[in-house]
Structure 1
Amino acid sequence: MTNTALRESAFPDAVVTEAIRWTEEKGPLDDAQAMRIAASRTANEHARITARALQLGERIGLPSELARARQWGPWVLLGLIALVVVAGLGLAGNVVGGGERHINVIVALVSLLGIHLVTLLLWLVGLWLPPGSFSTSSLAWIWLSLTARVAGGKRGQAPVLVRAATGLLARARLLPWAFGLVSHGIWSISFAVVLAALLFALAFRSYTLSWETTILDPAFFVRAVQVLGWAPAQIGFPVPEAQTVLSSAPGAAGQRTWALWLTGCIVVYGLLPRLALVLLSAVVWRRRRAALQPDWSEPYYRKLAARFAALAPPSIVDADPGRAPGIAPSGLAPSQLRDTLFVVGFELPPDAPWPPQGLHASAATEIQRIDGSAPARRGLLDRLAEVRPRAVLLVCHAASSPDRGTERFLRDLLAHCGECRLWLTDAAKDAAADASQRWIDWLRATGLPRVTAMHRLEDALEGLGATP
């Protein structure tokens, strides 16, 4: 798996892990099988906790609902953008769609920039608030809530997934930036559409632009127009002179100046800040996204780590002092053997499938499974003494550790067959080498080099008359 794929899957896995933590706040889940599977796949503490959460999440449908949310997210976002654009066009229509074609520039400016400035101020305030207290009134929160509702329905796991996702973002100090990336993007598109509609109307229709007041001093408007026009003037937009502002009926040149001043204010105070914040949010997201992981120091995760540590296989016991290491037990002579293969499951977990999937046994093969108890071992040895098979394939759990009882059983087994091999099941790719090497070292140390340990079924059955 490439690093890109790992990064793409890290956040969804972290969301499921956190969601399981919040789910277990109401009561622990039955996780015996999930713990065992996670422990067998990796030795990394955090990876084990994540693997356990993914196993439990599959049971209650968290990964599938999260996948649906990722599929629906872009479509919900497009729908929200369409609604905002329509609203923006409505505002532009109110500004330039009057039957008298008269535009009050101050009212138009407040109408087009008022809500934008309020939401922008709220977002800026949110940057200084403690993590997790970010306002839920943004367009991004609306998008997230709608996506969760569409993906999960009324009975889905949307609340716990949203809580997990926002909690991870808050911990990484990314919540306002992640929400800002969506909100600023929607606002940028809206302003672009509004500007296009406004410029189209001003370019092909004749309007009269002016200001009106009943109680304010005209000098106030002169000063306000100059102050607001300073920033647009830095990128080439004109600023009406005092005479033009005070004139009740400016000429065509004056009307053009008013129209460009209004357009420049929308560009500088509306579109450009949102575009700049989209870029800034994207940069912050890229730099901090590596921190999108659970807080492993939480008591919940420390407790899970302790449980996994308790599942670690015990160290291999010393060799049986009653037998000298290095002396292999003698087996039967070839003339005493029958062309028979025994496949024996030895002390496998209760939920392990049996017979092994993919094993196509011949007519001369016997398949048994024993729990390791003394009566079961004696029954198997009696059967082996009767049949005298050419080979025995002993199927063991890779995560288990052999002990003196296993050694004695193997020595007794070798006395009744020609060859014995071990197939170590459930050895994940990243742990197969360690598991096999542990058994190989133990076989060599206990004087059982005739027994070969393998973690692939194909290798274990090679030349034994049964192929997967």
Structure 2
Amino acid sequence: MRRHEERHGALEDRAAIDAARSAAPEFEARVLHRALVLGAREGWRDAILRWHGRLRLALAAGMVLALVLGFGAAAGVLGDGSRAVNVVWALGGLLGVNLFSLLLWGLATLLPRSAAGARGGVAPGGLSLRLLAFFDRSPEAADLPLALGSLLGRGRAASWGAGAVGHALWALALLGAAAGVLALLATRRYGFVWETTILPAGVFVWLTEALGSLPGLLGFPVPDAATVAASGDAPMLEEGGRRAWAGWLIGALLVYGAVPRAALALMCAGLWARRLHGLRLDLGRPAYARLRPLLLPDSERIGVRDPEPAVMPRPERHAARVEGVGAPALVALELGGDLAWPPAVPRGGGEGRRGDAAFDGGRLDSREQRRAALARFAAQPPRRLLIAVDPRRTPDRGNLGVIADLADHAVEARVWALGADGKDGAGRLPLWRDGLARLGFAPDALILDAVAAGDWLAGRQPEHRP
């Protein structure tokens, strides 16, 4: 995606941007999701899936070919049984090319990445990418080889992947060779010999014992010194000697060929998986910098994350069952700055204890102020609690919940729409009435003028005015 947009300009991606912003919070995850959406639209995802299918087919064909070639190499080294088998040449023919290629792989692995050709397109795996691209000439697949090579080139991920495949194929070839040797030795009669012009027999005795030490630990037979010495004069035709040479040959082929290759294949596969797990995009590139303000803006509308419940909490009025209640009180909940507090309302008590004055709980604008008021009312519940609100504000679950909590700590509670008689105060009164009704308040719980608020707080009956 990056390579295409750097050369041909940005794609139309409004829908992809919206989908990416809603799919993940991190920038890199959003970049990947955008690429996934646009890749499916532009046909790149289908091209990658076609590559996956061809790669699996190529790997299956390579595995079969490795087994066949290994079996064929065994047949070519042992022959048809009409001549004696030179054990030195047989082992060298089966393991020589393998050891040489293993040496080249080790040198390439130890070389720096630039010297190994990763930047020049000849790193391990580069030939495979070119072969796969040869069979797919569609426009959608044109950038896939270079894009994949650039992505996997960091941290030698491609080298470990190619190494895992190469070692696995060599292991299969050597297993095929061992199977071929075993099949031919089981169906034909072979004589074994070693030949030399200038070397003494002791050299071959030492070589046989040295190469047979590890296979011998695994139970493979090893020819003794007498058998080795006898095989230098004439082909070993005695049955015990032939079996010893056959076991020695198969053991050396497995221990020094197939087993190391299989172990290296597992090691490279583990490193490949580890590098893939740690693979990250180079987000410092200019193409990704262009996407950052689109995918990760400074602010964005998130909508309603916590939907309103069907039933709002209802005050349980625990204070109505408390004896020795306190004086009336009034508080202000999130009033606008232009509304003066405390308001001019009568502060005397007309009911109950003589001389009780209404307690001013102050403005409750912060969480700490609300907690302090609730703690005070919990310790000394008021007989009447008048909660002043700003009717110009829209009631929400937050302030309605605070009203419910405050009313829960008073014998009686009313809500005063402070300033509702002004021209700006009556617009949201229906919303306040609806919200208070959902809390379980009576229809007359919303007080609209200061005189009625003072009468209720003082316990006086309201006057009937024409």
TM interval, shorter chain, is: 0.5 to 0.7
Q: Which amino acid aligns with 1:294?
A: L
Alignment partner for residue 80 of structure 2, among 87, 93, 98?
98
Which structure 2 residues correspond to residues 203-222 of structure 1 after superposition, within 5 A?
A: 203-222=186-205
Give the number of the structure whose alpha-carbon radius of gyration is greater.
2
Q: How many angstroms apart in 2 are the aligned matches of 1:137 and 1:88?
A: 27
Q: How many angstroms apart in 2 are the aligned matches of 1:448 and 1:99?
A: 108
* Residue of structure 2 equivalent to 1:23: 4
Q: How many angstroms apart in 1 are the aligned matches of 2:429 and 2:175?
A: 78
Q: CA 1:287–1:313 in structure 2 vs 1: closer, same or farther (change >3 Å)?
A: closer
Q: Is the 8 A contact 1:229 1:261 kept in 2?
A: yes
Q: How many angstroms apart in 1 are the aligned matches of 2:217 and 2:127?
A: 36
Q: Is 1:175 aligned with 2:158?
A: yes
* Residue of structure 2 equivalent to 1:254: 241
Which structure 2 residues correspond to residues 124-203 of structure 1 after superposition, within 5 A?
A: 124-131=106-113, 133=116, 143-150=128-135, 153-158=136-141, 160-203=143-186
Q: Is 1:236 aligned with 2:223?
A: no
Q: Which amino acid aligns with 1:208?
A: G
Q: Is the 8 A contact 2:28 2:281 kept in 1?
A: no
Deviation for aligned residue 1:142: 5.4
Q: Which amino acid aligns with 1:290?
A: H
Which structure 2 residues correspond to residues 447-458 of structure 1 after superposition, within 5 A?
A: none
Q: CA 1:46–1:186 in structure 2 vs 1: closer, same or farther (change >3 Å)?
A: same
Secondary structure of the structure 1 residue equivalent to 2:56: helix
Q: Is the 8 A contact 2:68 2:176 kept in 1?
A: no
Q: How many angstroms apart in 1 are the aligned matches of 2:151 and 2:124?
A: 19
Deviation for aligned residue 1:256: 1.8
Q: How many angstroms apart in 1 are the aligned matches of 2:123 and 2:250?
A: 26
Alignment partner for residue 63 of structure 1, among 31, 45, 49?
45
Q: Is 1:280 aligned with 2:237?
A: no
Q: Which amino acid aligns with 2:3?
A: W
* Residue of structure 2 equivalent to 1:81: 63
Deviation for aligned residue 1:119: 2.2
Q: CA 1:64–1:304 in structure 2 vs 1: closer, same or farther (change >3 Å)?
A: same
Q: How many angstroms apart in 1 are the aligned matches of 2:429 and 2:30?
A: 33
Q: Is the 8 A contact 2:201 2:229 kept in 1?
A: yes
Q: Which amino acid aligns with 1:50?
A: L
Q: Which amino acid aligns with 2:257?
A: G
* Residue of structure 1 equivalent to 2:434: none
Q: How many angstroms apart in 2 are the aligned matches of 1:448 and 1:170?
A: 67
Deviation for aligned residue 1:90: 1.6
Q: Which amino acid aligns with 1:92?
A: A
Deviation for aligned residue 1:199: 0.8
Q: How many angstroms apart in 2 are the aligned matches of 1:182 and 1:59?
A: 32
Alignment partner for residue 225 of structure 1, among 189, 208, 216?
208
Deviation for aligned residue 1:296: 2.4
Alignment partner for residue 290 of structure 1, among 274, 277, 302?
277
Deviation for aligned residue 1:67: 0.8
Q: CA 1:114–1:310 in structure 2 vs 1: closer, same or farther (change >3 Å)?
A: same
Which structure 2 residues correspond to residues 310-459 of structure 1 after superposition, within 5 A?
A: 313=300
Q: Is 1:119 aligned with 2:101?
A: yes
TM-score by length of 2: 0.56
Q: Which amino acid aligns with 1:204?
A: T
* Residue of structure 2 equivalent to 1:50: 32
Q: How many angstroms apart in 2 are the aligned matches of 1:83 and 1:288?
A: 29
Between stretches 201-210 and 220-229, larger displacement belongs to 220-229
Q: How many angstroms apart in 2 are the aligned matches of 1:33 and 1:244?
A: 81
Q: How many angstroms apart in 1 are the aligned matches of 2:141 and 2:105?
A: 25
Q: How many angstroms apart in 1 are the aligned matches of 2:43 and 2:159?
A: 29
Q: Is the 8 A contact 2:152 2:158 kept in 1?
A: yes
Identity of aligned residues (%): 36
Q: Is the 8 A contact 1:191 1:271 kept in 2?
A: yes
Q: Which amino acid aligns with 2:47?
A: E
Q: Is the 8 A contact 1:181 1:277 kept in 2?
A: yes
Deviation for aligned residue 1:290: 1.7
Q: How many angstroms apart in 2 are the aligned matches of 1:63 and 1:447?
A: 53
TM-score by length of 1: 0.56
* Residue of structure 2 equivalent to 1:304: 291
1:296-344 alpha-carbon deviations (Å, 9 max, x no partner): 234442343245446955999xxxxxxxx9xxxxxxxxxxxxxxxxxxx
Q: CA 1:281–1:36 in structure 2 vs 1: closer, same or farther (change >3 Å)?
A: closer
Q: Which amino acid aligns with 2:27?
A: E
Q: Is the 8 A contact 2:123 2:159 kept in 1?
A: no
Q: How many angstroms apart in 1 are the aligned matches of 2:62 and 2:300?
A: 54
The count of residues paired between Structure 1 and Structure 2 equals 302
Q: Which amino acid aligns with 1:223?
A: W
Q: Is the 8 A contact 2:27 2:292 kept in 1?
A: yes
Secondary structure of the structure 1 residue equivalent to 2:212: helix
Tell me, which stretches of 5 or more residues in structure 1 are unaligned?
1-19, 317-324, 326-445, 451-468
Q: How many angstroms apart in 1 are the aligned matches of 2:207 and 2:291?
A: 63
Q: CA 1:51–1:210 in structure 2 vs 1: closer, same or farther (change >3 Å)?
A: same
Q: CA 1:87–1:110 in structure 2 vs 1: closer, same or farther (change >3 Å)?
A: same
Q: Which amino acid aligns with 1:160?
A: D
Q: CA 1:160–1:65 in structure 2 vs 1: closer, same or farther (change >3 Å)?
A: same
Deviation for aligned residue 1:228: 2.0
Q: How many angstroms apart in 2 are the aligned matches of 1:104 and 1:141?
A: 39
Q: How many angstroms apart in 2 are the aligned matches of 1:175 and 1:126?
A: 13
